[in-house]
């Protein structure tokens, strides 16, 4: 009978003092349980972490080192779920006067096992040693190689890591901003935790902390949120200080860490939590703020797009036709369905129903001219599904109340239609929604100066022109 163990709840959430090359023999092969692997193996012989003969890269040829990595990641492959992801942090080295491309060689090893290369991320460490050498610039980046087990079916919660950081022109050009926010680029800037920031939790600090090269918790939070879900199992086979494990725990994931260094294990149990704790509030409040603001941003970007859309549309009508002939006085934005995209999954974000009110029976001419205009590319880029109708009756027959944009000193305000005198010689725009100034301010809080805000807010009152 096999002595390989099936993973049980009580064997999770542990820092295991074993060589990760043993992983393949520790767990039952046909019972995959790992959702996410995040790790940084030793960079061949660049650093000696322990006195153990099990340490990879030390007293090994380059080929032996790559073989050791292969054994570890084969073992992990066997116990990973089909939907699993692997993030591996690695750097290049200089050996014998030339670059040793560990990143390429390790990627090849992983591909031989079956891991599928999805992306290469440049990790900009921001701070680094202040020296350059002949033939080599100051090194500020490392690689994060991202692999999955399946080509398509893997966890990728990119909605969570997209960010909303509007610049002041989002207001004037809402069609240029995705309502869902911006995905991070493939250059990630996270500074490495300074050695001093580890505090005095570990007694013999000089001895224990000397060899730590810890991951920034902020970067781990991004990876864990992106590629796993609550309750999932995160493994770090070269755990070191175990920051990846601590961050996984704080994000309600299970973890398993492997390392051969009892000193690193000591750091994990004595210092890692309090170190992460110091930065945790910032991480939590960042994601909280983002999740609060995303639906507000989504709604407002779409509503601003609708207002700009009708502004351009009206200008085009005025260019092509004499308003006196058409006798159009009103445009009602009758309905805006911002959930349109969620249901239909089209490239349109919202469905908008517009109704032009003409005083006489010219509605057919107006409608055909409108249909020509909305085919234009400058209106197509707004991502709106637009339905237009033309009705022939007067303002007094409006059967519901709309909001109207009008200037009020330095502010904009919305007035119900029954309080309004329409302006002659222009298309008066009424809408079924109103923008809320508090929401707009919330979105660009901290990112925009007060005077710029004021300037742009003033432009709102003129959006129907």
Ligand X SMILES: C[S@@+](CC[C@H](N)C(=O)[O-])C[C@H]1O[C@@H](n2cnc3c(N)ncnc32)[C@H](O)[C@@H]1O
At residue 139, φ and ψ (nearest 5 deg) are: -85, 115
C-alpha distances in Å from residue 56, one per residue of 41, 63, 105, 243, 247: 9, 11, 15, 21, 25
The helix or strand, by DSSP H or E, that contains position 407, with its residue range, turns out to be strand 403-408
Task: Please choose, from the candidates 205, 204, 201, 158, the residue with its C-alpha nearest in 3D space to the C-alpha of residue 181.
Answer: 158
Residues in 261-290 at the binding interface with ligand X, rule: CB under 6 A: 261, 264
Q: How far is the CB of 221 from ligand X (least distance, A)?
A: 13
Among 13, 45, 50, 437, binds ligand X (CB under 6 A): 50
CB of 430 to ligand X, least distance (A): 58
- Taking residues 68 to 107 in sequence order and writing x for each that binds ligand X by CB under 6 A, - otherwise, the string is ----------------------------------------
CB 241 within 8 Å of CB 221: no
Using CB under 6 A as the binding rule, the residues of this chain from 208 to 237 that contact ligand X are: 212-215
At residue 451, φ and ψ (nearest 5 deg) are -70, -35
The answer to the question of residue 259 lying near ligand X (CB under 6 A) is yes
Query: In terms of CB distance, is 86 or 338 closer to ligand X?
Result: 86
- Which residues, 6 or more positions from 395, have their beta carbon under 8 angstroms from its beta carbon? 329, 330, 357, 417, 422
Q: In the complex with ligand X, which residue's Cβ is closer, 93 or 213?
A: 213
Cβ nearer to ligand X, comparing 197 with 462: 197
Q: Please tell me the distance from the alpha carbon of residue 60 to that of residue 43, in angstroms, as a whole number.
A: 12
CA-based torsion, 407, 408, 414, 415: positive or negative: negative
Helix (H, G, I), strand (E, B) or coil at 93: strand
- How many residues form the binding site for ligand X (CB under 6 A)? 24
Residues 6+ apart with CB under 8 A from 360: 327, 392
Report 158-197 residues binding ligand X (CB under 6 A): none
Residue 147: name the closest of 20, 34, 284, 268 by CA: 34
Which residue of 15, 27, 49, 115 would you call a contact of ligand X, by CB under 6 A?
Answer: 49
Minimum separation from the CB atom of position 279 to ligand X (A): 13
Q: Is 60 in the site for ligand X (CB under 6 A)?
A: no
Place of tokens 């493994």: 235
| CB-nearer residue toward ligand X: 21 or 316 | 21
Single out the residue of 7, 15, 19, 403 in contact with ligand X (rule: CB under 6 A).
19
Residue 60: CB minimum distance to ligand X, A: 10
Residue 50 Cβ vs ligand X, minimum distance, rounded to whole Å? 5
Q: Is 24 one of the binding residues for ligand X (CB under 6 A)? A: no
Spatial separation of the C-alpha atoms in residues 216 and 463, rounded to whole Å: 45
Q: Using DSSP, how many helices (H) and how many strands (E) does the chain show?
A: 15, 16
Exactly one of 15, 32, 36, 40 binds ligand X (CB under 6 A); that residue is 40
Which token pair is 274? Answer: 């309090």
Question: How many angstroms separate the CA atoms of 54 and 255, rounded?
Answer: 23
260 near ligand X (CB under 6 A):
yes
Query: Sheet of 187-189: strands edge to edge?
Result: 14-17, 254-259, 233-236, 34-39, 80-90, 141-148, 116-124, 187-189
**CA triple 107-108-112, angle to 5 deg:** 120
Question: 84 or 243: whose CB is closer to ligand X?
Answer: 243
Name which of 49 and 330 has its Cβ closer to ligand X. Answer: 49
Work out whether 258 is an interface residue with ligand X (CB under 6 A): yes
- Which of 122, 157, 126 has its CA nearest to residue 140? 126
Is 243 within 8 Å of 214 (Cβ atoms)?
A: yes
Task: For ligand X, give the closer residue by CB, 228 or 241.
Answer: 241
Based on the shown chain and the rule CB under 6 A, indicate whether residue 198 belongs to the binding site for ligand X. no
As measured in angstroms, the least distance from the Cβ of 71 to ligand X is 9
Among 83, 103, 241, 428, binds ligand X (CB under 6 A): 241
Nearer to ligand X, 100 or 435 (CB): 100
Q: Which residue is nearest to ligand X (CB)?
A: 240
For residue 256, the cross-strand partners are: 14, 235
In the complex with ligand X, which residue's Cβ is closer, 40 or 92?
A: 40
**N- to C-terminal Cα separation, the chain:** 81
Q: Which stretch binds ligand X (CB under 6 A): 41-49, 304-312, 325-333, 446-454?
A: 41-49
Stretch that binds ligand X, among 156-164, 198-206, 257-265, 291-299 (CB under 6 A): 257-265
Residue nearer to ligand X on the CB measure, 127 or 459: 127
Q: Judged by CB, which is closer to ligand X: 243, or 333?
A: 243
**232: phi then psi, degrees, rounded to nearest 5:** -70, 170
- Contact flag: residue 32 with ligand X (CB under 6 A): no
| Interface residue list for ligand X (CB under 6 A) | 19-21, 40-42, 49-50, 54-56, 212-215, 238, 240-241, 243, 258-261, 264
């Amino acid at each position: 009978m096999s002595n390989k163990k099936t993973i049980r709840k009580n064997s999770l959430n542990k820092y295991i003092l074993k060589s990760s090359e043993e992983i393949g023999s520790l767990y039952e092969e046909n019972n995959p349980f790992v959702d996410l692997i995040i790790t940084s193996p030793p960079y061949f012989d660049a650093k000696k972490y322990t006195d153990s003969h099990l340490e990879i890269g030390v007293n090994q040829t380059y080929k032996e080192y790559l073989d050791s990595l292969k054994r570890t990641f084969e073992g992990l492959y066997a116990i990973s779920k089909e939907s699993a992801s692997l993030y591996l942090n690695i750097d290049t080295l200089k050996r014998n006067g030339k670059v040793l491309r560990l990143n390429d060689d390790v990627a090849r090893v992983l591909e031989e096992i079956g891991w599928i290369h999805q992306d290469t991320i440049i990790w900009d460490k921001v701070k680094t040693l202040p020296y350059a050498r002949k033939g080599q610039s100051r090194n500020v980046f490392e690689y994060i190689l991202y692999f999955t087990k399946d080509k398509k079916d893997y966890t990728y919660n990119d909605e969570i890591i997209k960010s909303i950081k509007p610049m002041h022109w989002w207001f004037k050009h809402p069609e240029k901003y995705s309502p869902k926010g911006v995905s991070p680029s493939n250059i990630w800037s996270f500074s490495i935790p300074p050695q001093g920031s580890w505090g005095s939790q570990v007694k013999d600090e000089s001895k224990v902390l000397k060899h730590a090269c810890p991951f920034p918790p902020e970067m781990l939070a991004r990876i864990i949120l992106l590629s796993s879900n609550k309750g999932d199992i995160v493994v770090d086979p070269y755990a070191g200080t175990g920051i990846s494990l601590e961050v996984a725990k704080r994000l309600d994931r299970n973890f398993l860490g492997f390392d051969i260094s009892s000193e690193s294990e000591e750091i994990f149990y004595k210092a890692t939590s309090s170190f992460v704790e110091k930065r945790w509030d910032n991480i939590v409040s960042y994601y909280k703020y983002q999740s609060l603001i995303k639906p507000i941003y989504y709604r407002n970007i779409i509503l601003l797009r609708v207002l700009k859309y009708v502004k351009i549309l009206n200008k085009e009508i005025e260019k092509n036709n004499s308003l006196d002939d058409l006798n159009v006085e009103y445009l009602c934005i009758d309905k805006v369905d911002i959930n349109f995209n969620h249901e239909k999954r089209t490239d349109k974000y919202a469905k908008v129903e517009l109704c032009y009110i003409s005083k006489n029976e010219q509605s057919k001419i107006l409608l055909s001219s409108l249909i020509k205009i909305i085919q234009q590319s400058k209106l197509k880029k707004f991502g709106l599904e637009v339905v237009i109708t033309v009705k022939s009756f007067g303002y007094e027959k409006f059967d519901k109340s709309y909001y109207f944009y009008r200037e009020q000193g330095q502010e904009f305000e919305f007035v119900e239609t029954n309080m309004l005198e329409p302006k002659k010689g222009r298309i008066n725009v009424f809408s079924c929604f109103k923008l809320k100034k508090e929401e707009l301010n919330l979105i660009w809080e901290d990112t925009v100066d007060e005077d710029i805000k004021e300037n742009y807010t003033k432009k709102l009152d003129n959006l129907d022109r």
